[in-house]
Chains A and B, each alone.
Chain A
């Protein structure tokens, strides 16, 4: 009963309706958006899997839309996360200006993403890609003064990405004569070497911008920081996955037909690993919670790129598993950070501390989030990490696995800093009156936290759609049971046993330690601590928040000074300077231009023999 055109029309029309409602009956605007988004989630879930659901001719091009298992996985991420984000937005965005604009851009970007994952030809993919970029750009510049500069950066990089994709399309069309996926995938192997190489590099560049793969990541930290948190969850959780979606298609459907495929794989795998490594370093030394999460997001996408690039069944399963997990945990963490912002008005980690007792639910979400990101069992992050490591080792990428493992361990640093600075530490006077966020904001966070636990105990639930999506990408099969993971050597890890063991021991010991001496155990404030005999005064600052990882910074030395941003800035400066010289030429003065004309004519006359072959 649900059609693909229905989904498109509902999404885009709802965007316009929400905009109009804001200006006529703003009271029902939020609930209208929530209900519509709920319907869309249901529609995406029910949409039948068929390669050709809708096709029509536009200016001689066949535009085809269909639902593949691969696209469905991404569409579900977008829809579910979109629903949670819009549920969260009702209270989060309340009282903010230009909400009609916000909801419209929100729905348009969601619709753009649906268009990307459902399109079956490059024209419609590009069309919706641009819609997604534009609408997310509108949300990047929604906020504040800084928005101009950061928005420009986002725009420039998006434009670079879009034009790479477009150039690749032109090359493809000129040699294949069609832009439908079916024809492109079939005909690509017959193209000549240089156009193959060009297309693959351009496509990977174009999609790499959105997935913030280094060195194309510089737009991400700023853009993630200044978008409203309810949209940042989508931005990092779903929108960046469109890059992954494209990289997946490029690698397995296009590049795999070429002779240089192994090279592409190796190089891309290393790019992913180095992205993970450096993004982690930057995250460790970030002072703003959202910047930290932005770098973390870049790093996590690096793992996914590496997983896709390795191209063994287990590594692809790991990559797609992590794709879904990243949407869940980064959604959680951005929503939790948004909750902190909602109550305290800042996300600066040196300014907020000790919120755990004031915002226990938000803390719980953040806790589940960081445990999942770090990959500690029994939550779901572990399954993804485990599959990735095993696949790297078993495909003989020994040093790659060490780099990945290293960045994964270093991730503990920033994750601890995140949760410590915001929720733990000294309880300060400034945050005395902070309360927990409203239920409508808590529910999405807690549901996502629950999802990490469920998928952690039973990763098979998630591997089911993941392996279906892998079937679309190629002949990949992966062995799993509902709660048991296997590697390629046949070793296994049983998550149900793990979760049971941890759960049972944890509960037993908790009961014992709580009952034992229950009456004699009392609560003391965070000012009442062991300070080696000195009594801290009332206003003494006992918070450890600035330069949190100074020793680590010293140990790393000059590694951190390397920054791609500097290279871009230098390029920008050089260009600016050279344009500056042009200004001397175009002075804007009529007399100067008249002089140019005279000079030009003089040159023509003097060199006429040389140029025209006639002597005046």
Chain B
């Protein structure tokens, strides 16, 4: 079998790029949050140094095999998701494995990491962690409905479930799905708020109530790995949304602009909002976002 070295290159460097972009976004978020709260905030590289520090910790504790493997589950899911999302359109290097899977597969692989994390949190025996997981799963049931409605609307409109086909159909600015199917975008972006877990949907970590919940038993290299995973996963999700609604990106500058614009939606919403209770959060998703989703499907059907 002939090996395509450009593909191999893509497989190797895509996670690195995703990590760098994700960490930088994290740093920028901290600065933006600080400015809005009339502070100066840490330097952009702060998140990066945090991760380096965590990896170099001398002592680490764990509660058992499942907790040891939980961050591994998380990062496996992040990197796999990333590989199955085309990062740059029509590029040999950065489409990676996106021809081997489709949207429904992506929906499921994205859960893989959360499931592993939930199991690890469970083994730690921390009741706050378990409460956090219970909240997180309940909330997921909430935002999954509008998200699936949006995805279904798009799939039936364009008669494909492959991301590359979707990107190819949005070859022109006014062919972007955000304009072709605005209700689907509305439903999906509201679901996206829940997915990202910023306020008002930060019921999972909720520092003031359950002492950060799920991540509280993870320290040192485990927390480092989780932060790495989170950075990569953020980038992967943003790229996925860009691919679906904003026509993908032809080069890295476009990609950064589009993903950053998308990323600011949950971040800015989060800064100015307090936290929902879990049931309020679930009901929020079952109200207007679901209506938008149903509208999106109905419009396509007629």
User: Could you list which residues of chain A lie within 8 angstroms of chain B, going by C-beta atoms?
Assistant: 354, 356-357, 360, 367, 371, 374-377, 382, 385-386, 389-390, 393, 396, 398-399, 401-402, 405-406, 409-410, 412-413, 416-417, 419-420, 424-427, 487, 489, 491-494, 497-498, 501-502, 505-506, 509-510, 513-514, 516-517, 520-532, 542-544, 548-549, 551-552, 554-555
Contacts and interface: CB of A to CB of B under 8 A. Distances in A.
A406 B151 CA distance: 13
Nearest to B120: A424
A493 B127 CA distance: 39
Contact of A393 (B61, B97, B156): B156
A357 B123 CA distance: 10
A516 B75 contact: no
Contact of B134 (A389, A410, A551): A551
B220 A517 contact: yes
Contact of B283 (A409, A498, A509, A555): A555
A537 B105 CA distance: 46
Contacts of A367: 119
9 contacts: A389-B104, A390-B104, A405-B148, A412-B111, A416-B137, A487-B161, A491-B102, A529-B63, A551-B134
A427 B125 contact: yes
A501 B222 CA distance: 22
B221 A516 contact: yes
Contacts of A491: 102, 160-162, 165
A399 B279 contact: no
B80 A526 contact: no
B197 to A, nearest CB: 15
Contacts of A506: 72-73, 76
Interface stretch (B42-50, B139-147, B242-250): B139-147
Given A376-B111, A412-B115, A510 B138 contact: no
B301 interface: yes
A413 B138 contact: yes
Contacts of A520: 58-60
B107 to A, nearest CB: 8
Contact of A376 (B115, B140, B152, B282): B115
A377 B105 contact: yes
B123 A356 contact: yes
A409 B133 contact: no
Given A393-B155, A424-B66, A529-B126, A523 B161 contact: no
A409 B161 contact: no
Contact of A502 (B55, B69, B76, B283): B76
Contacts of B72: 506, 509-510, 513
Given A386-B104, A510-B72, A517-B57, A505 B79 contact: yes
Contacts of A376: 108-109, 111-112, 115
A398 B157 CA distance: 11
A544 B61 contact: no
Interface string B162-206: 100100000000000000000000000000000000000000000
A528 B126 CA distance: 9
Nearest to A360: B65
Given A367-B119, A494-B100, A416 B133 contact: yes
A399 B297 contact: yes
B159 interface: yes
A409 B141 contact: yes
Nearest to B146: A402
A480 to B, nearest CB: 15
B10 interface: no
Of B104, B142, B160, most buried by chain A (CB within 10 Å of CB) is B104
B83 interface: yes
A401 B152 contact: yes
A426 B97 CA distance: 41
A489 B108 contact: no
A402 B155 CA distance: 13
A65 B145 CA distance: 47
A493 B161 CA distance: 10
Contact of B61 (A382, A513, A514, A522): A522
Given A354-B125, A530-B211, 18 more contacts: A374-B111, A376-B108, A405-B144, A409-B140, A410-B141, A413-B137, A416-B137, A426-B125, A489-B161, A506-B72, A514-B68, A526-B124, A542-B126, A544-B130, A544-B131, A549-B138, A551-B138, A552-B138
A376 B286 CA distance: 24
A523 B59 CA distance: 11
Given A420-B122, A489-B161, A498 B60 contact: no
B118 A416 contact: yes
Contacts of A544: 127, 130-131, 134
B135 interface: yes
Contacts of A398: 152-153, 156, 297, 301
Contacts of B55: 516
B86 interface: no
A505 B60 contact: no
Contacts of A510: 69, 72
Of B57, B102, B161, most buried by chain A (CB within 10 Å of CB) is B161
A375 B57 CA distance: 37
Interface string B11-32: 0000000000000000000000
B278 interface: yes
Given A398-B156, A406-B141, A513-B68, A530 B217 contact: yes
B152 A505 contact: no
B130 A517 contact: no
A402 B100 CA distance: 24
B274 interface: no
A531 B294 CA distance: 44
A524 B133 CA distance: 21
A132 B172 CA distance: 63
B35 interface: no
A374 B115 contact: yes
B62 interface: yes
B71 interface: yes
Contact of B80 (A396, A425, A505, A517): A505
